[in-house]
Amino acid sequence: MGSECCHALHIFFFPFPAPGHIIPTVDMAKLFASKGVKATIITTPLNAILISKAIEKSKTSSNLIHIQTIGFPCEDAGLPKGCENIDSLPSPEFFPTFFIATKMLQDPLETLLLQQHPDCVIADMFFPWATDSAAKFGIPRLVFHGTSFISLCATECMRLYKPWKNVSSDTETFVIPELPGEIKLTRLQLPPFPINDEKPSEFASLLEEAKESELRSFGVVVNSFHELEEVYADHYRKVLGRKAWHIGPLSLICNRDMEEKANRGKEVTIDEHECLKWLDTKKPNSVVYICFGSMLSFSSSQLREIAVGLDASGKQFLWVVRKSKSEQKVGEEWLPEDFEKRLEGKGLIIRGWAPQVLILEHEAIGAFVTHCGWNSTLEGVAAGVPMVTWPIAAEQFYNEKLVTEVLKIGVPVGAKKWGRMVLEGDGVKSDAVEKGVKRIMEGEEAEEMRNRVKVLSQQAQWAVEEGGSSYSDLNALIEELGMLRQ
C-alpha cells in the first residue's frame, strides 16, 4: 500500500476507563502511529493525565498521537466527583453506576465523530453503542476486547451450548462443547451471569449488547499472536466466522526502552531503578514475582496465607500487594511477625503499582504468580517467564487453561471459584501457595515449562518483526481500512 494512503488514515481509539483497558489501547495507538496513522485517543480529563505521560515517553511517532478529552458525568450518574476510572471507585457498590456513566459518553463521542470524521473507531467492547454511533456517520467500528482468542471462543461456545445445564452439581466438571482442546470447567468457575440467564443482571445485559454489537461491527482487533493460540485464532475466524486481526503482543512492540516500560499505566510506587538494583543482586531465575493486576484486591486473611506460603517455599520473591479498600486503613496485621525484617534481602514487597514489564524481563525472575488477566499473561509469555496461575474473575479461568493445559507453561495454584474483580479474592491456603511456587521453580517439570515459554517468547518477538504474523495482520488491517476510505 502506498504511504500516502496510510498517512491519510485517522483512527479514534476509545478505551474503557480502567487501567487494564487503557494500557493496551495506548500501546495500540502507538503501534498504529508508528505506521504513519494519525491516532486520536478519546478519554476523560483525569485519565488523559496518565495517558499523556505514556505518550510523551514514546519513541515511535508520538507526534501522530493526539488526546481528545470528553467530560465524564460523575455527578450526573451518581458517582463521587473525580471517579473517572473504575480503579478510583471508593467501593464495589459503585460498579453498576460507573457503567451507567459510561453510557452517557455516547453524545460527546458522536459530536467528535461529526466534527473530525475519522476513518475508523477502535472502541472497547464495554461500549456496545459505539457501533451504532460510528454507523451514523458511515465510519467502521472495530471492537477491542483486550483478551485472548481462547476466551473469545470459549465465551461464545458457552453462550451457544450452555453446557453447565448438563451437570448435577457445582463441582462436577463438563467439557466446553465445540471448543478445541477438551477444556473442562465446573459451574463454580463460571461468572453468575450465564448461569442465571433467567434473571439477567444489568452487567449480563451489557455483555449481551456487546456480543450483538460486535456482530454488526467491522471486526475485532486482538492483542495476541498467531503462534501462541493458533488453534483458537483459526477457530474464532474460520469456525465461528468472526473477522479478526491479531496485532500483539502490544507491550512488546511499543515499549522499547526502560523509560517507556516504566511509564505504562499508573505512577509506580517504587523507583524502578531501586527495584531493578535489588533484582540485579539475585541469580538468574531465582526470584518469584507475585502480582494480581490493577483491579484485584485481597482480604488481610488471604494476604497472610500468601505470606506464609512464600516463607515456607524458601524462595526469593518480589510481591506487589494490593489490599482491599475496606482494609487499607487497618494496618498490616496480615503480615506474620517480623516477616519483612526476617526476610530482608530475600523478599521485597511493593505496596501499590509496579513497573511490571521491566520486572518480568529481568533475568532474575524465574516465575510469575498471576491472576491470568490477559495483559499480565501475555507480558509473562513475552518475557519468557513460566507461571503459577490463580484466576479469580472475568475470563481468567479460560486463560488459565491456555497456560496450564494447552501451552503447558504454568501450574495451577488450585483456585476453584469465580469471584468479582472488585471484591476480595479468598480461599487459597498457604500450603497451596508453597506447593505451586516450589513446583514452578524446582525440578525437571519446571525446567521443561521454562524451555517451552522461552520458545514462545522468541516466537512473540518474531511475530511483531517484519514478515511476522502480527506485523502482517496489522499491515493487512491498515490496507483494508485505507481501501475503505478510498
Catalytic residues: 21, 124
What does the DSSP 8-state code read for residue 402? I
Cα 396 off chain centre by:
10
**Element counts in the chain: helices (H) and strands (E):** 22, 17
Reference 19, options 362, 356, 389, 360; nearest CA is 356
CA dist., res. 33 & res. 272, Å (int): 27
Cell 522468541 -> residue: 458
Q: Kindly report the backbone phi and psi dihedral angles of residue 73, in degrees, each rounded to the nearest multiple of 5, phi listed first.
A: -80, 60
Coil, strand or helix: which one is 218? coil
Exposed/middle/buried for residue 356 (C-beta within 10 Å: 0-12, 13-18, 19+) = buried
CA dist., res. 121 & res. 135, Å (int): 10
Write the DSSP string, 340-371: HHHTBTTEEEEES---HHHHHHSTTEEEEEE-
Q: Kindly report the backbone phi and psi dihedral angles of residue 223, in degrees, each rounded to the nearest multiple of 5, phi listed first.
A: -85, 80
Largest CA distance in the chain: 68
Q: Write the CB contacts of 2 (distance below 8 Å, at least 6 apart in sequence).
A: none
Give the bridge partners for 13, in sequence order.
Answer: 41, 122
Exposed/middle/buried for residue 337 (C-beta within 10 Å: 0-12, 13-18, 19+) = exposed
Angle at 295 between CA 198 and CA 325, to 5 degrees: 100
CA dist., res. 350 & res. 229, Å (int): 32
Cα 102 off chain centre by:
20
CA dist., res. 229 & res. 150, Å (int): 7
Q: What is the rounded end-to-end Cα distance, in angstroms, of the chain?
A: 12
All 3 cell numbers of residue 442? 524446582
Count of other CB atoms within 10 angstroms of residue 447: 12
CA dist., res. 477 & res. 267, Å (int): 33
Q: Please answer whether residues 1 and 29 qualify as being in contact, where contact means their C-beta atoms are separated by less than 8 angstroms.
A: no
Q: Write the CB contacts of 335 (distance below 8 Å, at least 6 apart in sequence).
A: 303, 304, 307
Count of other CB atoms within 10 angstroms of residue 483: 10
